[in-house]
Amino acid sequence: MTIHSLNLESIATFFCDKKTPAEAARQASVDTSAELGEIRFRSGLQFEQALEDIEGFSHLWLIYSFHLHPHQWKPKVLPPRGSEKKVGVFATRSPYRPNSLGLSCVKLVERKGLILRVQSFDLLDQTPILDIKPYLSYSDSFPDASMGWLQGIQEQKLTIQLSTLAETQLQFLEDLGLREFRNVILQQLSFDPLNSQKKRVHQLNSSQAVLSYKTWRVFFKPSLHEQLIQIQEIRSGYNAKELADLQDPYQDRALHLQFLAKFNGPLLVADDEGAK
């Protein structure tokens, strides 16, 4: 068998607020936020012409490089949900593949010259885009396709409810730039929310648990038999000692101080697990 080699160069770069894998949606279409991402094409390469007529398509395929991912592949991987045992990497969309190529279908919102604005995506900021193709419903849509080990996973999806306090807190943080937090909560808690092996979650007692995201803590009540997660409130993950640390290792002390001034929540006690 001949081995074929191929040298590719990015044609565009993706820009959005999501910086780390934990912030991204599990798959593009499950990102129901209004956040826009921008695909900025390289200039001076006639890409203006190549993008003509793309406006008529509601959905686009992006083929991209998992640029943040170590280019090191694994034959078997533990999926974030749907299986408690490892499955073959080709039976997943995991980045641990021999050729580090990603594939996502996103919604096209508008084109402005060399920029495409898209919605409902799972890409991270600075992702190099290698190709873009129109979605063709007659050839790409198989609503009844069977999905092996993932079959039935959608039925396990939990409803996430936010208390008035949690909603106000989230909006406050979003307005101050923490725009990916809501998505993180939805991604982490919609499936298998108490799995401490797969996520930074800690059950406090039979009716309350806490999810850690960066320096923040999300307190929630899991009602698994009702397929419901009630988000009660958000708290700072800093304890008093950390909050007094002027070195500010996570560069977000000011944001926490604003949050605490507004919501007057309790600080962690010194021997609780701290901010990191």
Report yes or no: 25 and 183 within 8 Å, Cβ to Cβ: yes
- Least distance CB 184 / a second copy (angstroms): 18
Burial of residue 104, with CB atoms counted within 10 A of its CB: 0-12 exposed, 13-18 middle, 19 or more buried? buried
CB of 10 or CB of 168, closer to a second copy = 10
CB of 73 or CB of 172, closer to a second copy = 73
Q: How far is CA 36 from CA 46, 67, 120, 176, 186, in A?
A: 25, 20, 8, 17, 18
Residue 129 neighbours by CB under 8 Å, 6+ apart: 10, 11, 12, 13, 14, 39, 62, 63, 64
What's the sign of the alpha-carbon dihedral 45, 120, 190, 79? negative
- Least distance CB 80 / a second copy (angstroms): 13
CB of 186 or CB of 218, closer to a second copy = 186
CB of 99 or CB of 247, closer to a second copy = 99
- Least distance CB 123 / a second copy (angstroms): 13
CB of 150 or CB of 267, closer to a second copy = 150
Give the length of the chain. 276
- Least distance CB 217 / a second copy (angstroms): 30
Report yes or no: 36 and 109 within 8 Å, Cβ to Cβ: yes
Would you give the distance in Å from CA 36 to the centre of its chain? Answer: 13
CA dist 209 and 158 (Å) reads 15
Residue 161 neighbours by CB under 8 Å, 6+ apart: 228, 229, 230, 231
Residue 163, both tokens? 């208390």
- Least distance CB 265 / a second copy (angstroms): 36
CB of 84 or CB of 272, closer to a second copy = 84
- Least distance CB 27 / a second copy (angstroms): 4
